[in-house]
Structure 1
Amino acid sequence: MTASAPHTWSTAPSTAEQWVDRAREVAALLAVDAVARDRAGATPHAEVSLLKDSGLVTLLGPVEHGGAGLDWSTAYRVIREVAVGDGSIGQLLGYHYLWFWTARLVATPEQVAAVEERATRERWFFGGAVNPRDSDLTIVDEGDEIVFTGRKSFSTGGKVSDVTVLEGVLEGTEEHVFAIVPSRQDAIVFNDDWDNLGQRLTESGSVEIRGVRVPWSDAAGYVDKRFRPRVYNTLNVPLIQLVFTNFYLGIARGALTAAAAYTRDRTRPWPFAHDVKGTAVEEFHVLDTYGDLQAKLWAAEALADRAAGVIEAINTHPDTVTERERGEAAVVVAAAKQRAIDTGLEVGTRVFDVTGARATANTVGLDIFWRNIRTHSLHDPVAHKRAEVGRYALLGELPEPTWYT
């Protein structure tokens, strides 16, 4: 069975570990034809249906509305597992979780309850048009409604999303407004122009926002057209940076797993060595390389898990989180992200040293892992993450919240 074939589950998992196992099942289905789907570059409707049918899209949703009611620590592990099978779909799921959580980050309690009930019951899949490197969308106040207009060069989720998170600035002010709107409407035009080296199935092309109308009552966190800020509003960046970290790690594990299978089954020992071996898996340099890469990957995963624990501790008291707690979480996440990138790129490159020349064939598809990490790891310069950790280690400085920190 493949990702594009129908698949249903008769029962829902009941524990966090069982949900992680469900993610592994999904990853196994995705892995079967991941290379072919990457080469085809088709819109991943079937893959998103698989995420819905498996129940993974409602992992963070309230139990009373049919969700699993689980935490971010579990969500991060699920993202990592899905990315083992297909990095693009791991990214889509991770972004979905972040945008699902948007209401918790910025909305009023009443808005949170309403959004999470509908999103969970109807199994919404979330996309987002919130690329902060572009000019903000312009928002015009028209009485009972606000109107979003503008363009974003990246909008992950695109045509496979049921709803899209918009963010813009209210005209004549410095007030930012988030809103969740239906993706399928005439005022939203996805341009189908995502044609990049990797993460090819993330539907991350540009989008035109041509007068999307939103009732003021749906402006997240606003009451009587006024927003009441809190520190927790700024946790969106550490949350999504750790999403990145975990699908990088999943992709790296997928690379190591695929390469190991190839080495065991197809790599030939070098016939001109001083000490010729009967099989490639007996060769010292092969064992040394796999041992080195596995140790580095385990270390990077452990740091990511530590960062998830820090995030989880903050989520236990969102209304009282301090700037120091938020800043220290951002530092640990920055450290985890840089380790994941460095390790993932190394794994994606060095697996060819232990698989051999024939493993570069397009039919093998080992290139997909490096391409995926290389593409997305340029989202924001990793050097700035290292500098954030360096300023903390050297000067005790905490990073100030920005759209990338």
Structure 2
Amino acid sequence: MTTIAPIEWTNRPTPGSPQEWIDRAAEVSAVLAADAAARDRAGTTPYAEVALLKDSGLVTLLGPAEHGGGGQDWPTAYRVIREVAKADGSIGQLLGYHYLWNWAARLVGTREQWEQVEAEAARQRWFFGGAVNPRDKDVVVQEDGDDLVFTGRKSFSTGSKVSDVTVLEGVFEGTEDHVFAIVPSDSDGLTFHDDWDNIGQRLTESGSVTLDGVRTPWASAAGYVDKTFQPRVYNTLNVPTIQLVFTHFYLGIAAGALETANTYTRAKSRPWLHGGYDSAVDEPYVIDAYGDLTAKLWAVEAFADQVAQEGQPLHDEPDSVTEQDRGEFEVRVAAVKARATEVALETAQRIFEVTGARSTASPEGLDRFWRNIRTHTLHDPVAYKRREVGRFVLTGELPQPTWYS
């Protein structure tokens, strides 16, 4: 049985500055860290963890301040994701996906649609899930009077049972036209199968979902006016935005691995009996490893922060985003995601070199960091991210907008 320690937030002022929000995220992270290994082993639905994100206000970070949201920008959101992921990679992923799906109305919808969604989401502290796995193309959308009807199946639906609303995606029957809509997660015909059973990111509620005639009003079709989609280049910014979410929770998991290993080395690691040192922290090989891993992590964190800042002007002026702007930003995101993947995997693997054989005991839970990183970094091949960068450098070719580039 695992528990999330309660914190009284209601009598405390709402964070105002980016740093105050990052500090709030650090408080949440400390709560999650207390029993992270036990919760990972239990693998139960993270209702309490999502309640913590709601109670702390983190779910409203990007929401409009006039409706109770934090009124913050994406660079702050990425830092918050990173902070939460230090303690629990699953909850960092859930929060990051929530931010993306909350923002999806703005990415794809009309101004009237996204203003309505964001206001209601902030007021009600909605938690967003998404049934938008692009590898599954069997969700068909049909028109029935003033309604749209979604039918099909998705292999993955991150956030599923813990979400208040779910972003659906399908293709109009007989066309190539995609449609997004936000529906209540308890909608008739929407069935989450609770079959996520992977080695890592165990608490992300990412199992399959069946859509059996899920109905939603035509008016909820994001970006459609008079039943015709209104395209913008900004619509395609969903991919670099979510890829940068991935980057930051990878870095958060890596930082958490390093911090947890550091605590273990100081408190429990024994020096090698033939090394001539009285403490593990004095061993030159241990010192070198921590220095090497920390330097690499700090470098990629700084790169990730820079790329986040580069992307914010695109969110500030969405109607002005050009294909060149979007393409160059995607190249930068691809580059930092490639580096984050490598440093996170290396860190999560090498921490055992500086903690010792006894650190592999199951109660320590140090393996969860590698399992989490390894599981999610397989989302899309990192070699294709390097290819985007290489082609741009050699020929100036911009990545063509797809579900992954």
| TM-score normalised by structure 2 residue count | 0.98
Question: What SS is found at the alignment partner of 2:364?
Answer: coil
Superposed, 1:232-247 pairs within 5 Å as 232-247=234-249
Is the contact made by 1:106 and 1:221 (CA closer than 8 Å) also made in structure 2? yes
| Structure-2 residue corresponding to 1:306 | 306
Counterparts of 2:15 and 2:315 in 1: how far apart (Å)? 23
| Structure-1 residue corresponding to 2:265 | 263
Is the contact made by 1:60 and 1:68 (CA closer than 8 Å) also made in structure 2? yes
Question: What SS is found at the alignment partner of 1:88?
Answer: helix
| Structure-1 residue corresponding to 2:281 | 281
Letter in structure 2 aligned against 1:219: A
- RMSD (CA atoms): 0.9
The answer to whether residue 6 in structure 2 is matched with residue 6 in structure 1 is yes
Superposed, 1:24-39 pairs within 5 Å as 24-39=26-41
Q: 1:22 Cα shift? A: 0.3
Correspondence for 2:102 among 91, 100, 103: 100
Superposed, 1:16-31 pairs within 5 Å as 16-31=18-33
Per-residue CA distance 1:212-246 (angstroms, 9 max, x = gap): 11111111111110111000000000000000000
Q: 1:320 Cα shift? A: 1.1
Question: What SS is found at the alignment partner of 2:175?
Answer: coil
Q: 1:112 Cα shift? A: 1.0
Question: What SS is found at the alignment partner of 1:378?
Answer: coil
Counterparts of 1:115 and 1:63 in 2: how far apart (Å)? 14
Superposed, 1:287-366 pairs within 5 Å as 287-366=287-366
Per-residue CA distance 1:259-303 (angstroms, 9 max, x = gap): 000001111111112xx0111101100000000000000011011
User: Could you list the runs of 5+ residues in structure 2 that have no partner in the other structure?
Assistant: none
Is the contact made by 1:136 and 1:167 (CA closer than 8 Å) also made in structure 2? no
Is the contact made by 1:3 and 1:50 (CA closer than 8 Å) also made in structure 2? no
Q: 1:142 Cα shift? A: 1.1
| Structure-1 residue corresponding to 2:123 | 121
Is the contact made by 1:168 and 1:176 (CA closer than 8 Å) also made in structure 2? yes
Letter in structure 2 aligned against 1:403: W
Counterparts of 2:188 and 2:7 in 1: how far apart (Å)? 32
Counterparts of 1:218 and 1:245 in 2: how far apart (Å)? 31
Q: 1:3 Cα shift? A: 5.7
| Structure-1 residue corresponding to 2:166 | 164
Is the contact made by 1:3 and 1:29 (CA closer than 8 Å) also made in structure 2? no
Matched residue count: 402
| Structure-2 residue corresponding to 1:144 | 146
Q: Quick one: percent identity of the two aligned structures?
A: 67
Q: 1:136 Cα shift? A: 4.2
Q: CA 1:379/1:60 → structure 2, altered by over 3 Å: closer, same or farther?
A: same
User: Could you list the runs of 5+ residues in structure 1 that have no partner in the other structure?
Assistant: none
Counterparts of 1:271 and 1:117 in 2: how far apart (Å)? 62
Q: 1:186 Cα shift? A: 2.9
Is the contact made by 1:165 and 1:180 (CA closer than 8 Å) also made in structure 2? yes
Question: What SS is found at the alignment partner of 1:197?
Answer: coil
Counterparts of 1:381 and 1:8 in 2: how far apart (Å)? 42
Is the contact made by 1:231 and 1:321 (CA closer than 8 Å) also made in structure 2? yes
Letter in structure 2 aligned against 1:187: G
Q: 1:6 Cα shift? A: 2.6
The answer to whether residue 187 in structure 2 is matched with residue 175 in structure 1 is no
Per-residue CA distance 1:189-217 (angstroms, 9 max, x = gap): 00010000100000000000111111111
Counterparts of 2:347 and 2:115 in 1: how far apart (Å)? 43
Q: 1:117 Cα shift? A: 1.1
Correspondence for 1:207 among 209, 230, 233: 209
Letter in structure 2 aligned against 1:383: A
| Structure-1 residue corresponding to 2:137 | 135
Correspondence for 1:221 among 220, 223, 227: 223
Is the contact made by 1:3 and 1:32 (CA closer than 8 Å) also made in structure 2? no
Q: 1:8 Cα shift? A: 2.4
Bigger Cα displacement from structure 2, 192-201 vs 134-143: 134-143
Question: What SS is found at the alignment partner of 1:149?
Answer: strand
Question: What SS is found at the alignment partner of 2:320?
Answer: coil
Is the contact made by 1:105 and 1:235 (CA closer than 8 Å) also made in structure 2? yes
Counterparts of 1:154 and 1:327 in 2: how far apart (Å)? 27
| Structure-1 residue corresponding to 2:90 | 88
Aligned structure 1 segments of 4 or more residues deviating by more than 6 angstroms: none
Per-residue CA distance 1:140-182 (angstroms, 9 max, x = gap): 0112111001000000001000000001111122111100000
Is the contact made by 1:28 and 1:85 (CA closer than 8 Å) also made in structure 2? yes
Counterparts of 2:355 and 2:138 in 1: how far apart (Å)? 47
Letter in structure 2 aligned against 1:66: G
Letter in structure 1 aligned against 2:22: V
